[in-house]
């Protein structure tokens, strides 16, 4: 049996954070990108709003805005959150990008980089004076496996978790404009935004928002204060199903690996900072490995988690449906972990769930 090939840094995960970390690490170290399955360039569509500064960072990675669906910057949004009627407001400039296009562009760059090896390995890495997989070993490991956080000691998240569903249509088929819009609902919220080529409606929450079929969801939106989101849009049942997944906040207790992106802190999309934070984590994670200052990364992530929980609390307190059972339970989970020690996950047990991961 041949010996595993040795690297300085291994990166687990082929999302935006993992790909950016691999590209950054390869500038200074022998790097391997470890995937648990072959990269899929045809992932379900998801449109993200990112700060303008993050778009500038992607340009530094040689990714042009047009390649990821960003046609212009937006500084206006319409919301029906604290009040019954939708209101326009201005904020920091953001770009609307298509996540699958971003990840495909980053993966093409990794594949073209002669200093990065790519392996598919479904076996969880082991640690013994270094990290070892089926056909590789590395002195350092960056875990960018998203909410799975496969190397974490434990994960903390509310139970039941909130989830999301997204429905999209080509921009050429609708008259709706792409600005971000959001409306609170009794069991969650709905939003609308568009990229250069596509526009969609997302639903986030629990209960009927996750279990109902598209026609029932359309009726729910039309019968609530969110009906204005459907103006100039086709019925949900005639739109294409996009990405779905868990959206409520989650964080992990790190093990021996460096956790970045959603593996460290999976942010609630109400903050609109998830992708920006993940890319920042990727750069910072590589830097602390090269300097040996892992403690500074963990201190930074603990501070970022507390700030995110405070931001979520402020948003929840403004929601006019806060007295709804779903919203109340989520708000209690957030408050319990602000008043407790967020680096000590036992504080979440009262209103959420602590999941201990197997050691390796």
Domain 5-48+101-155+249-356 falls in which CATH fold? FAD/NAD(P)-binding domain (3.50.50)
User: CB of 38 within 8 A of CB of 120?
Assistant: yes
User: CB of 354 within 8 A of CB of 156?
Assistant: yes
Token look-up 């964080």 returns: 251
CATH of 58-99+160-246, one of 1.20.120.420, 3.30.9.100, 2.60.220.30, 1.10.3430.10: 3.30.9.100
Token look-up 């990008």 returns: 97
Could you count the other beta carbons within 10 Å of the beta carbon of residue 28? 14
Rounded to an integer, what distance in angstroms lies between the CA atom of residue 357 and that of residue 349? 16
User: CB of 164 within 8 A of CB of 204?
Assistant: yes
- pLDDT tens digits for range 39-70: 988 899 999 999 999 999 999 999 999 999 99
**What mean pLDDT is reported for the chain?**
92
Domains 5-48+101-155+249-356 and 58-99+160-246 agree in fold: no
**Ranges of each domain in the chain:** 5-48+101-155+249-356, 58-99+160-246
User: CB of 31 within 8 A of CB of 11?
Assistant: yes
Per-residue pLDDT band at 348 (split at 50, 70, 90): very low
Burial 287-321 (b: 16+ CB within 10 A, else e): ebbbeeebeebbeebbebbeebbebbeebbeebeb
- pLDDT tens digits for range 129-181: 899 999 999 999 999 999 999 999 999 999 999 999 999 999 999 999 999 99
Q: Which of 127-136, 178-187, 215-224 has the lowest mean pLDDT?
A: 215-224
């Amino acid at each position: 049996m041949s010996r595993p090939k040795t690297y300085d840094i291994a990166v687990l995960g082929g999302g935006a954070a993992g790909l950016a970390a691999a590209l950054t690490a390869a500038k200074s170290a022998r790097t391997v990108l470890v995937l648990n399955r072959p990269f899929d360039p045809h992932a379900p569509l998801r449109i993200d709003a990112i700060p303008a500064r993050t778009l500038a960072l992607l340009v530094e990675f040689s990714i042009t805005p047009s390649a990821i669906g960003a046609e212009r910057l937006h500084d206006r949004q319409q919301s029906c959150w604290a009040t019954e009627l939708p209101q326009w407001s201005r904020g920091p400039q953001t770009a609307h990008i298509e996540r699958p296009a971003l990840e495909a562009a980053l993966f093409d760059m990794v594949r073209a980089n002669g200093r990065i090896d790519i392996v598919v390995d479904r076996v969880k890495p082991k640690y013994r004076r270094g990290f070892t997989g089926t056909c590789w070993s590395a002195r350092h490991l960056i875990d960018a496996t998203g909410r799975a956080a496969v190397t974490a000691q434990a994960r903390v998240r509310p139970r039941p978790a909130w989830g999301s569903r997204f429905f999209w249509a080509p921009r050429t088929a609708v008259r709706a404009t792409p600005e971000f819009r959001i409306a609170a609902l009794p069991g969650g919220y709905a939003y609308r935004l568009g990229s250069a080529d596509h526009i969609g409606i997302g639903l986030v929450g629990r209960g009927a928002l996750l279990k109902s079929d598209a026609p029932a969801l359309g009726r729910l939106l039309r019968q609530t204060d969110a009906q204005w989101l459907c103006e100039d849009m086709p019925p949900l049942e005639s739109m294409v199903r996009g990405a779905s997944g868990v959206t409520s906040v989650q964080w992990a207790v790190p093990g021996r690996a460096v956790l970045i992106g959603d593996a460290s802190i999976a942010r609630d999309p109400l903050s609109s900072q998830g992708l920006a934070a993940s890319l920042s984590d990727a750069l910072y994670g590589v830097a602390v490995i090269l300097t040996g200052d892992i403690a500074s990364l963990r201190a930074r992530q603990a501070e970022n988690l507390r700030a995110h929980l405070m931001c979520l609390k402020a948003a929840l307190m403004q929601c006019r449906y806060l007295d709804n059972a779903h919203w109340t339970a989520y708000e209690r989970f957030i408050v319990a972990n602000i008043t407790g020690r967020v680096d000590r996950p036992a504080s979440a047990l009262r209103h959420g769930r602590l999941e201990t991961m197997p050691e390796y």
